[in-house]
Structure 1
Amino acid sequence: MPTILHEPGARALLAFMPRTMLQRCPACLSYGFSRECDCGETRVAVAPLRFSPEDPQGDRRRQREGWGSEEWVKNLPTPRREGDEEE
């Protein structure tokens, strides 16, 4: 596998790379760089994507996930139990 971007074929491999390089298998807990583990399971990203305060796709993501809708508000966790009154 080419490790330097100016090597032949390196840029083509970037199209098939996962979101983060390091992957972890949830079944056998092994780490690797490929999506398929030796045990046959699919590895998942170890770390979440980087956070950006600008969040260029934030508005679209919130709309897609239904943030602010009535159903979303009803599913929010609350520290109060059912039947408790506000003080």
Structure 2
Amino acid sequence: MSYIALDSELAISLQATLEAARLQLEKAQKAATGNQPLTLKQAAAYLHVSYPTLKEYIRNGAITPSEYGSRVWITQKELDSFIAAHRRKS
């Protein structure tokens, strides 16, 4: 293994750039959490309900799916909002 000698200023600059990139990636990953698209079958499983029950929630407007052409999906964030709105209040 060979080593390359780096100027200390260059090494510090590279380290700062890598740290900034790592922080940006971490921020993007946190922002994306909950935005994963789920198929209707996956969404039904996530809610622990049957597929027809999920379709009923969609028909009643309780859950709003996203559509693009013939593809239909529901984000995890949408399902989490549905769960929070229907949580029992004790």
Query: Normalized against structure 1, the TM-score is what?
Result: 0.20
More helix as a share of residues:
2
Q: Tell which has more relative contact order, 1 or 2 (C-alpha 8 A, sep 6+).
A: 2
More strand as a share of residues:
2
Which has the higher Rg, Structure 1 or Structure 2? 2
